[in-house]
Amino acid sequence: MGHPLNIGIVGAGTISHAYLSTLTRLDGVRVTTVTDLDHDRAKALAHHAGDAVAVADTTAGLIARADVDAVLNLTIPSAHADVTRAALAAGKHVYSEKPLAATREDADAILTAARKAGLRVGCAPDTVLGTGIQTARKAIDDGLIGTPVAATAFMTTAGHESWHPDPEFPYQPGGGPLLDMGPYYLSALVHLLGPVVHVTGAAGRGRAEGAVASRPRANTQFPVRVDTHVTGILHHAGGALTTLVMSFDVPAAQLPWTEIHGTTGSLSVPDPHRFDGCPAVSQGEAWQPLPCSAGYQPGGRGIGLADLADALRTGRPHLASAELAVHVLDTMLTLLDAAHQGRTLPVTRTADRPAPVTGLTLSTPRSRHRHAGPLSHERA
């Protein structure tokens, strides 16, 4: 299968351990170097990754290393664009946590730089490559619900204050329920129904201030500077309409994550924030669970990067692409613009509906994990 893709990780925060858990069990990728602003944190992650993993003093130092083919960008969102551009300038492929960038202009610049250099850029979320979304996609592609006509997607919580020790960020510019959780739902909807062409929206702010609930900062007040309840209608290129609700203002709810409704039936789709789960289908009668029949199993953060590595070896497009990430970012920003302007607006940055996860194989050492690769997505 050739040499593994050598990975340098920039950012050793909490999410890095989830990525490392996946990447260290796959043969197609190899973590070689780690860096973080907190050197001790980088050392701890490197130790967890294995004795052969080096610690770079700076991001520039990591990017310059000969044993780094691709940079895994796990920095804070405001740093994503700068780190990605620096890696591309040095001739490295990149896989970034979401969002790819904070603005359309930065996202466009990343795509331009990657295409000019002939490099790959991937972006989270890769949960869409797990069994939940991919089995749902197979059900749609197999015609189990006829032609998709409508969909609903709900992410409703009471916000971050009750559990997060530092909940301010999701309530500042660049945050909010749509930009925080929307990439999971919108990426899934594009996989299921195709790209979005127009959006109509409304938005509100349920409170002017939030308060930290957990110690040691309990009762600390902070301003809420973003819309905390966003609702919209997404017009998909294939004709389906999605009703979307993203909210930090809902104390409790019994709403489904996502449902797709077609001309002959309905599909209940698992949580797009997770890799696992299987959908259920109803053709006017009781809901029937569908066996998981597509998607990478087991899933985990980093499957998108491993898929990118496999795509480099085989010459195919990778599935968690920067083009999809730019389309999702533009859809979210346009929805907010439409909400504030009170009108329907076009989504100008589009992307093709990604290919399904098919008979691809991500090699996994048998001694570490027995069930390598994805389930088949071929029609019976």
338-378: per-residue pLDDT in tens? 999 999 999 999 999 999 997 544 555 433 333 334 444 43
Q: Which amino acid is at 315?
A: G
Query: Token pair 């260290």 is at which residue?
Result: 24
**Strand extents, DSSP E, the chain:** 5-10, 29-35, 54-55, 70-73, 93-96, 121-123, 148-156, 196-204, 209-211, 221-223, 229-236, 241-247, 258-262, 266-269, 280-282, 288-289, 295-296, 345-346, 374-375
Report d(CA 304, CA 205) in Å as an integer.
34
The dihedral through the CA atoms of 375, 362, 354, 299 has a sign that is positive
Q: What is the pLDDT of residues 285-323, one digit of tens each?
A: 899 999 998 999 878 999 999 999 999 999 999 999 999
Report d(CA 213, CA 231) in Å as an integer.
27
Low-confidence ranges of the chain (pLDDT < 70): 1, 359-380
pLDDT score of 321: 98
Query: Token pair 């970012």 is at which residue?
Result: 329
Q: Which fold has domain 133-291?
A: Dihydrodipicolinate Reductase; domain 2 (3.30.360)
pTM (predicted TM-score): 0.92
Mean per-residue pLDDT over the chain, rounded: 92
Is the distance from CB of 18 to CB of 24 less than 8 angstroms? no
Distance, first Cα to last Cα, the chain: 28
